[in-house]
Structure 1
């Protein structure tokens, strides 16, 4: 009997409670005030139904759904009474916002119903008393009902109205932007899928917004370009891209901004890419940096938009740079200072262009470097011919020449002018000299044949140290460190450092020799200055030249050798007379003069020491001096036609144009009227430097130097190939070439031909072999 009563009561709970619950539910839907008692009563009623009437759970859910749908139908009616776009949007947004607010409140009392419908136990509910409203069945019911009942029916009208307002804004018309934002919010918040809340928004609002944007500019952009031209169009496109991005921040979700920007770039820039880029070359030539900056910003948004600009920049730098050098060729080939100034002016000019037009973008800096390197290493203005084939290891015989730029030679000459006592170095301050040396190092970075620079720099340094003509010894040593810092090969730099060390050691030895020699020879020892130099750092064996020294010098040689043997046993001295010099006194009827001369000049002049007025033939001078023919001719040429003298020291009969024209019939004599002339007046006393630039290379060794550069390159290439193979054990031809260039680039760039020849030589001599499976793969042989 009792059980039957409970059962009957359970069946009546929903029918009794729903009429009590419904007024409060309708108040909540309409956003009418609900008292605390009503709110609590609603919770209690739902609890009673869930507790006593399990079969009525679905009934309650269905009744709630009917009331929600009825409310939405009424809201739709109210919205559709508005025909005008903005009124419609206002009405819809007002209704939606009220409804959406209630989507957070109405599900709360039905929490127990939701858990019952989802089959959760009482215990699980106790453990999780708080519910996430985003996962609420009632909330989902409300949103889905709104979506299918009102939104699906009028969403196209909503979208169209919103897009019309955005279109109006693009045309400069004012409106309430909150209307578009409100529509957007309804699209975002309508989605009941908690895992992807933006599905409805992206499928509808975002798509409509992007389509309308694309349609607007597809119509406007071509018209603007045709009427206003490319340069004005770039300003227009840039301003519209900026404007659309700001508009997107206001009207779109953050996830949509990149998509919208991509659309705008496509329709405003990519569609006119070729037309815009066609103006790039002329802009670069005319240095229109502001316009280029705009183009850069636009093209940087486009796929492969920058690549053509890089090519235009490279071509401009190469053509403009070479044209500039060609115009100034006559001047700069004769003056290394002017040459370096031209190169630096060009570099600064191109760097300023990249900075002002392209914001020093790394891609454009790379293009500048690539093109400037082409200018620096060009051979059309300056040419140095190096042999490409040599006898010996790694060569295949025969001698041909390949042109290289003389740039490194001219850079070394300019360094010499700055570091030597010259009118240029005297007029510059220490800081100015340092600045110019750093400029040389900047250009040197782009030189491919850096080994040629080091050869000439070392030759100039040798002269300065031997003749003691360095303007600043501290700058000299700093230069060596700077060369090390810019990546010059360590062994080259080490040799330069060793040269300074030798000079310092020689000063101490000199002092000791003079003190010891003064005891036996008197004060004449003070006139001797010896330099003991390391042959590996300073000279080559082929540079040694035989010469018959004056007796006054010949007597000192055994003394110096005995002194040195006492200090360093086991070391052998080799005399390099072509690197020596001295001062002799010349007297004639005009006056008495001190002459700074090379050892070779001294040997020639001493042929007249005992017979000052005699005429001597070329053959007799050859016998007297024992100089090789080429060196004798060069020495006589410097005494017969020294550029800085108005009256020459020697006279040649018959007269000749150059030292090459001396014959066996040429007769030489001392000019008895020789004198120093200053300001048109004959001087009876004075000092004259006949050394000029100390000739460190013999005629033969000049050719050997060029061949030596190539031979050293061959050896370096072989050494690098073996080093790579030893580390890799096995390597492809392409990878070998890449790694080889990387290793050698601070010295020179090996040609493919040289690499191929050295690979074949190393294979032939069994340092490596080709793989039997692939002829383009090499294997190291231990």
Structure 2
């Protein structure tokens, strides 16, 4: 047993020594293959040769591992042998890549500007692709020896593809980075100046900055390098430090100077158009060849230089654009100012002042006529509101702050203006009264009635003004009084329109606000049914009243207070009322009817103007007089 152990130890040592002695032979074949990979001869790298190189790595690294699998009791010695085998091959690969990269650096070291970018981009693309091929050849080394080193926390060992990137960064990029970044920024400035450039080269070089950001101290990040995934936050470290920071600074300097030069002779409106164009260009630039992570910091830098620092200019121009109704330019200003912190504050204040001023000016023009012309008064208010409601909707996209400015201004000029002040003691309620009278004009029967859709639009307009009326109780008082007269005297143009407006008021102010109006409509419907039943009753009982009688039973406390009329009724008419009273009491025991003769009316036929016959609609006191 002892002899066998001794033999085994001798065999293991011999295995290590054999592998060590053969590394030069193995590396000779591998270096020839690497020359093919890295020196632009990949066309000669067919599948058979690729597998031959992979097998060389596999056979060399696996010889000690195989021996270890056969002799478990000497695993520590075999592990040490495997460590030596892996380390030696790893160091030879590292030296090869470094020599190759240093040679490339020396070859391009004298180039500057666009010529340097072209050369750098070409060499980088070739090197990166070649390193991916190399990584495949050394995949067995990655999966075994390198993986074990990484698992054990060795921060000086990298996956072979990561190793290649690290060597490029240390031995070439860090030596030329300032010149390469200078060339990038110069080329980007040329494009900003309107000169056509090759964006493909810029994009490729910038991508190299991202790829070189692999974190050499984070083993888990090394696998990312193999896939080429550039989304990791850590991978942007090199990109941000050596490109983005300088790019942002250069951008601020460029546009600060351009803005100052432009505004020396150009108008604010033309400047806004220029800024819009530049913002679009930079956004496209970011999408075309600059990493998307730069989108936000670039936008912030542009907004600071082109908008934030020029806010006072925009604010001073805003009033003039409002006066001239330059809605397109106002929309442009809004889109720019809303991009910066508190950029809209002064514009909202200016809009409120302007709308209030315009509202007062328009009402001042019609004060004398509008004082007793509700339609003119309301239409003047709507003219101003609709003009600026359209502006806020289209130019300012109904931004809440601008909507609030419109509301405040409308409340101002609707509730206190030259018409309301003319009312003196009733100034606070004048707008409420005029709006209620306007509603009465819309809903009352007339020779020219609007179409249903047109009337509904008019009622919507009423609600626009109603929204701003401060004393809505006064409006309700006037409206209810006029509504009751329309119902009692059958002067309502449309029951549907009446109900529609009541529903709109309910939505705005709640159920309680319109409860009496709703009850009044209910009373009218019940009265119609009651009169029908009364006629049927008279017919069934054979009673001929001699009068076509229509009676409205109105709920006390719901309808406006109406003055009584103390008169002696004609016997025939009094008999009709007594008959109805008896009929009503049979159906509603305990209720008391109080006749409101002051609100009653009748039709009287006149036959004294022969041969013509006339029909007069008169009040009850007129009937008694006749």
* Structure 1: distance between partners of 2:491 and 2:250: 79
**Which residue of the partner structure matches residue 277 of structure 1?**
315
Distance 2:563 2:214 in 1: 96
Q: Using the alignment, how far apart are the partners of 1:431 and 1:181 within structure 2?
A: 60
DSSP 3-state at the match of 1:227: coil
Unaligned stretches of 5+ residues in structure 2? 1-5, 67-77, 152-156, 216-220, 222-231
2:600 alignment counterpart:
580
Give the distance between the partners of 1:215 and 1:15, measured in 2 at CA: 62
1:565 to 559, 565, 585: 585
TM-score (norm 2): 0.82
Contact 2:20 2:85 survives alignment (8 Å):
yes
In structure 2, C-alpha distance between the alignment counterparts of 1:356 and 1:115, rounded to whole Å: 62
Pick closer, same or farther for the CA change 1:120–1:548 going to 2, 3 Å.
same
* Alpha carbons of structure 1 residues 518 and 31: separation in structure 2 relative to 1, 3 Å: closer
Task: State the partner residue of 1:139.
Answer: 161
1:30 aligns with 2:68: no
Alpha-carbon offset, residue 573 of structure 1? 1.2
Q: Do structure 1's residue 446 and structure 2's residue 476 form an aligned pair?
A: no
2:58 pairs with one of 29, 43, 60 = 43
Deviation at residue 306 of structure 1 after TM alignment: 1.5
Distance 2:147 2:444 in 1: 98
Identify which of 402, 409, 416 aligns with 2:440. Answer: 416
User: 1:313-336 CA distances to partner (integer Å, 9 max, x unpaired)?
Assistant: 211111101221122111122111
C-alpha distance in structure 2 between counterparts of 1:188 and 1:571, whole Å: 91
Q: Contact conserved, 1:585 with 1:592, CA < 8 A, in 2?
A: yes
Structure 1: gaps of 5 or more residues: 125-134, 387-400, 610-782
1:344: Cα distance to partner? 2.2
Deviations 1:483-536 (A, max 9, x none): 44x334323433323323322332344355556668999866315432221113
CA displacement at 1:286 relative to structure 2: 1.4
Structure 1 length as normaliser, TM-score?
0.67
1:698-737 to structure 2, matched below 5 A, reads none
Match of 1:152 among 156, 171, 174: 174
C-alpha spacing 1:419/1:12, structure 2 compared with 1 (3 Å) = same
State yes or no: 1:235 paired with 2:288.
no
Deviations 1:257-296 (A, max 9, x none): 1111111111111111111221001111211111111111
- In the alignment, does 2:410 pair up with 1:382? no
Match of 1:16 in 2: 22
Residue 72 of structure 2 corresponds to which residue in structure 1? none
- Rounded to whole Å, the distance in 2 between the matches of 1:251 and 1:60 is 39
RMSD: 3.4
In structure 2, the CA distance between the partners of 1:568 and 1:382, relative to structure 1 (3 Å rule), is: same
CA deviation map 1:366-411 (0-9, x unaligned) = 432332233333355226999xxxxxxxxxxxxxx88524233222
Change (3 A) 1:23 1:92: farther
2: CA distance between counterparts of 1:571 and 1:562? 11
- Which one of 67, 82, 86 corresponds to residue 114 of structure 2? 86
Contact 1:544 1:578 in 2 (8 A): yes
User: Does 2:514 align with 1:493?
Assistant: yes
| Distance of 2:422 and 2:584 partners within structure 1 | 41
Instruction: Identify the residue that residue 106 of structure 1 maps to in structure 2.
Output: 134
CA contact (8 A) 1:90 1:179 kept: yes
Query: 1:537: how far off?
Result: 2.1
- The equivalent of 2:526 in structure 1 is 505
**How much does 1:599 deviate?**
4.0
**What's 2:564 paired with?**
545
Corresponding residue of 1:189:
211
Instruction: Tell me how far apart the structure 2 counterparts of residues 599 and 256 of structure 1 sit (CA, whole Å).
Output: 86
- Give, in whole Å, the separation in 1 of the partners of 2:119 and 2:540: 121
Q: Residue 382 of structure 1 aligns to a residue in which SS?
A: helix
Q: Which residue of 2 aligns with 1:177?
A: 199
Is the 1:379–1:404 contact (alpha carbons within 8 Å) kept by the matching residues of 2?
Answer: no
Provide the rounded CA distance (Å) in 1 between the counterparts of 2:473 and 2:136. Answer: 85
Alpha-carbon deviation of 1:539? 3.7
Tell me, yes or no, if the aligned pair for 1:290 and 1:356 is still in contact at 8 Å: no
Contact kept in structure 1, 2:53 and 2:137, CA below 8 Å: no
In the aligned structure 1, how far is the partner of 2:251 from the partner of 2:305? 9
| 1:408-457 deviation per Cα after TM superposition (whole angstroms, max 9, x unaligned) | 3222222222222224xx35334433332332233323333333333222
Structure 1 225/168 Cα, relative in aligned 2: closer, same or farther at 3 Å?
Answer: same
Structure-to-structure mapping, 1:425-444, within 5 angstroms: 426-444=448-466
Of 514-523 and 201-210, deviating more is 514-523
Judging changes above 3 Å, is the alpha-carbon distance between structure 1 residues 351 and 521 closer, same or farther for their aligned structure 2 residues?
same
CA distance in 2, matches of 1:493, 1:574: 25
| Correspondence 1:349-368 to 2 at 5 A | 349-368=387-406
| Contact preservation (8 Å) 2:101, 2:171 | yes
* Residue number in structure 2 paired with 1:743: none
Structure 1 residues 154 and 578: alpha-carbon distance in aligned structure 2, compared to 1, 3 A threshold:
same
Cα gap change, 1:414 to 1:111, in 2 (>3 Å):
same
Q: Aligned partners of 2:595, 2:39: CA distance in 1, in Å?
A: 115
| 1:91 CA displacement | 1.4
Show the counterpart of 1:530.
551
1:384/1:406 contact within 8 Å kept: no
Report the alpha carbon displacement of residue 199 of structure 1 after superposing the two structures with TM: 1.1
Q: 1:67 to 1:413 in 2, by over 3 A?
A: same
Paired position in structure 2 for 1:214: 252
2:94 counterpart (65, 80, 103): 65
User: Which has more helix, going by share of residues?
Assistant: 2
SS at match of 1:525: coil
| Aligned equivalents of 1:287, 1:347: Cα separation in 2 | 14
Bigger CA drift: 376-385 or 27-36? Answer: 376-385
- Alpha-carbon contact 2:367-2:418 (below 8 Å) kept: no
Residue 71 (structure 2) aligns with = none
In 1, the alpha carbon distance for the partners of 2:386 and 2:241 equals: 54
Q: Which residue of 2 aligns with 1:348?
A: 386
Counterpart contact for 1:379–1:405, Cα < 8 Å: no
CA 1:519/1:74 → structure 2, altered by over 3 Å: closer, same or farther? Answer: closer
The match for 2:365 is 327
Q: What residue in structure 2 maps to residue 470 of structure 1? A: 492
Question: Structure 2 residue aligned with 1:164, among 167, 177, 186?
Answer: 186
1:762-773 correspondence to structure 2 within 5 Å: none
Structure with the largest fraction of strand: 1
- Name whichever of 59-68 and 160-169 sits farther off: 59-68
Distance in 1, Cα, partners of 2:11 & 2:589: 131
CA drift of 1:80 comes to 1.4
Whether the aligned pair in 2 keeps the contact of 1:76 and 1:150 (CA below 8 Å) is yes
- Name the CA shift for 1:24/1:421 in 2 (closer, same or farther; >3 Å): same
Residue of structure 2 in register with 1:762 after alignment: none
